[in-house]
Amino acid sequence: MRVLYSLMIVVFCCVVSKAHAQTEQFPAFGIYGNFNLNMYSADFRNFPGVPSCCPMYQDGGGTGVSAGVLYQLPLGTSMRIAFRAGYNSRSGLLSRTENTTVAGNIPGTFEHTVDAKLADIGLEPLFQYNIVSKLWLNVGPRIAFVTTKTFSQKEAIISPSNGVFPNGSSTRNELSNVAISDASSLFVALLAGVSYDLPLNNKGTMVLAPEVFYSLGITPVVSGLQWNTNSLRVGLALTYSPEPHKTPTERIEKKQRIDTVRSVRAVALSTVILGKESIELKKQETDDEIVITQTLHRTDTLLIAPKPVETTAPTITASITANGLDANGEEHETIKIHVEEFSSVLMTPLLNYIFFDDSSSVLPVRYNVLSKTQTESFDEQYINKPDRLSTYYHVLNIIGKRLKETPSATLTLTGCNADVGGEKGNTALSKKRAETVKDYFVQHWGIAETRLKVTARNLPEKASLTQSEEGYQENRRVEIVSSVPSIIAPVITHDTVRKSNPPSVRFHPQVAGNQHAATWVLTAEQAGTIVKQFEGTGAVPAVIDWNLDADGTHPRTEEKLTYTLQVTDATATTTARASSSIPVEQLTIHRKQVERREDKEIHRYSLILFEVRSSEITANNKPIVELIRKDIQPTSKVVITGNSDGLGNSTLNKQISERRALATVSALQLRYNDSNVVSEGKVITDLLDRPERRFYARNVDVVIETPIKE
């Protein structure tokens, strides 16, 4: 046995040495402690030389503890070897009840007991394998020196209660704390179990691991007797893995920044004059590396010989035509723009989140910031546009104005972070973000600090759980909740909407001549007022589309619309111009009333804040649903468009958008087969670079067109 023990230690040390050389992870040391449930497997009558009348001891058990120190050495990302050295208690009770007959042919019961005190101090070399996540499988032997091996025994009459042995007592063969004769001095067992690592700090250097082991005893307690001890061990291990100090390496990077200035001079051939050189040094340090950047700066002068004078006069010509473009993308050669006005209600939902850049608590520049003077004249009626984002970027001013008008209202500002990278567990950053929003309300809108409560957390309560940059962006935010629901209610405005037929105009410009276009401008104007303008540099596009309905840039009178293309060449000395015109017809609300023409009202609503991949209409949207239902008349035509962002699987996104539309149809208590009800799904795939764009893309648009009765 000693030879086997020595051989195992030698092999184990070789593996440890090799593993230490191949892994970059750090060893750990610590302590462990277990509660032992001891189980005895026996088949003997008595100890050698000790009297006992027991027919046969077969099983028993007790409790004990295991405790000691440990050392772990990683073999890679999924394997470790661990040394454990410590104390182990295997004490327990062997008991056997014997049914017999005593004097007078009376039934009786004898109880035979052996109370063993067993303990050892030993070594446990374990192989540890990472099964999944932080769960580890542990296997290995325990080789120990038995330090305690005593026992107490007695045989007692249980019944009859007044029975006695021939010695005149109810007990016999009674011994106390006697050394077990021929007890094994060496204890060997096989260990198998699992443990789960729970990091106690951000770096993971301190780990608490709950563990469960089963110990299968190999060596018997007494040589020559069939008596083995097994244990179920449940406990904890605490380890610490110090990070060794690293000396950062130094690296030098060399760069060149050479600018060239062009100069036309009276020289025969083009030539370069080298400028004066200067060296700029920059030093950047990290835990692992020191980078010194050497940048050479120089400005050279390129002398260019003048071009010979061209004998051919420069020419450039331009022409342009315009056609109508219908909603299906079909082009028509002759057009006349018909513009019709409708009374309209526009409702824009208010997204009550303010998004921040990575690791930043500075309010992004895309949010509209007003001075104290400007806040006095702010009116949300004038900023509500079909483009929801232009309205959303005034969200702080809309809420600030409503807070000022509702003194009883309070806000809760909850700062959140992405809980990844530099933001991992950084609730201080979350609080700074909330403080930024609070400061804007206090300093720009004069809201009392007592009305603004600041809280902080890591991920939002309803976080975007996608492990992607888009999900991280959506979680870097401040959530605004008010005690008064109207503070974050949608913005509703009454306006006049204009529809054009055809909805778009397609221009076909053409440029010819021996010169290339350097700049160009296409202008559409009416009565001297510019309605729409396109411009660019370089070649003029072959096709230029003007979507009047999407831009909201409709002609406002019945005077003809004149469009002009102006092209200038690279020398800025030659310009070509071409013009034409399009007739315009206006059908205003007033004209329809005077002429008693049929008219209609157009109401546009939106439901937002659907959870990712969800079509459930939340409680935030139910008041809006009730508002929409009141506007639907029996003669109304209702178009319901469910939208989803274009991230992920396109087929799944299409199905989600359709389910959102159908859920809205049901919530509005409309019939799916009604000819006046149209529902469809749409996937928005463009302009999803910002989190607010994606939130507004997870919505349902409801357009209600109701004929006006005279």
Q: Does position 254 have pLDDT exceeding 90, yes or no? A: no
- Distances 162 to 99, 110, 522 between C-alpha atoms, Å: 16, 13, 122
Residue 15: pLDDT above 60? Answer: no
pLDDT at residue 309, rounded to an integer? 57
Q: What percent of the chain has pLDDT over 70?
A: 87
The encoded tokens of residue 3 equal: 């030879």
In contact, 240 and 72? CB cutoff 8 Å: no
The two structure tokens encoding residue 124: 């446990």
pLDDT per position as a tens digit, 317-371: 888 888 888 878 788 876 788 777 666 778 888 999 999 999 999 999 999 999 9
Residue 44 bridge partners (DSSP): 57
**How confident is the model at residue 128, as a pLDDT?**
94
Least-confidence region, from 132-141, 175-184, 493-502: 493-502
Give pLDDT, residue 158.
87
Instruction: State residue 22's pLDDT score.
Output: 40
**pLDDT for the residue numbered 181:** 87
Helix and strand numbers (H, E) in the chain are 11, 34
pLDDT > 90: what percent of the chain? 35
Most confident of 113-117, 166-170, 302-306: 113-117
- Give tens-digit pLDDT for 651-664: 888 888 888 888 88
> Cα angle at 283 between 278 and 288, to 5 degrees?
150
Mean per-residue pLDDT for 358-385?
91
pLDDT of residue 668: 85
Q: How far apart are the C-alpha atoms of 572 and 592, rounded to whole Å? A: 50
Q: How many angstroms separate the Cα of 200 from the Cα of each of 27, 204, 208, 299, 555?
A: 17, 7, 7, 56, 68
Average pLDDT of the residues in 55-61: 88
Please report the pLDDT score of residue 654 as a whole number: 87
The stretch 537-555 carries a mean pLDDT of: 81
CB atoms closer than 10 angstroms to residue 303? 16
Mean pLDDT (whole number) for 251-267? 75
Please identify which residue in the block is written with the tokens 């000022």: 404
pLDDT number for residue 612: 66
Assess contact for 213 and 193: CB atoms under 8 A: yes
Q: Tens digits of per-residue pLDDT, 67-79?
A: 999 999 999 889 9
Which of 47-61, 422-436, 476-490, 508-522 is predicted least confidently? 508-522
Q: Report whether pLDDT(18) > 60.
A: no
Q: Is the dihedral of CA 400, 402, 408, 413 positive or negative?
A: negative
As given in the structure block, the two tokens for residue 641 are: 């468009």
Mean pLDDT, all residues of the chain? 84
pLDDT of 618 over the 80 cut: no
Report pLDDT for 4: 44
CB 63 within 8 A of CB 35: yes
* pTM tops 0.85: no
In whole angstroms, what is the distance from residue 267 CA to residue 297 CA? 27
- Least confident span in 162-171, 179-188, 214-223, 617-626: 617-626
Mean pLDDT of 479-492: 91
The whole-number pLDDT of residue 308 equals 64
In terms of average pLDDT, the best of 15-24, 174-183, 425-434 is: 425-434
**pLDDT for res 608:** 61
Residue 473: phi, psi to the nearest 5? Answer: -60, -40
Higher pLDDT, 243 or 184: 184
406-424 mean pLDDT = 94
Q: Mean pLDDT across the stretch 208-213? A: 96
Which range among 12-26, 191-205, 348-362, 572-586 shows the weakest confidence by mean pLDDT?
Answer: 12-26
Checking if the pLDDT of 313 tops 70, the result is no
Confidence at residue 273, expressed as pLDDT on a 0 to 100 scale: 78
Please determine, for residue 33, whether its predicted confidence score (pLDDT) is greater than 50: yes
pLDDT of residue 23: 39
pLDDT at 358: 94
Identify the band that residue 39 occupies on the pLDDT scale cut at 50, 70 and 90: very high
For residues 105-131, give the mean pLDDT: 92
318-339 burial string, b = 16+ CB within 10 Å, else e?
bebebbbbeeeeeeeeebebeb
Whether 413 shows a pLDDT value over 90: the answer reads yes
How would you write 442-486 as a 3-class SS string? Answer: HHHHCCCHHHEEEEECCCCCCCCCCCCHHHHHHHCEEEEEECCHH
Report angle CA 469, 474, 478 to the nearest 5 degrees.
140
Sign of torsion over alpha carbons 383, 385, 387, 389: positive
The mean per-residue pLDDT over the stretch 606-632 comes to 76
Question: What average pLDDT score do residues 362-390 get?
Answer: 89
Closest C-alpha to 400, from 364, 361, 350? 350
Identify the H or E element spanning 651. Answer: helix 650-667
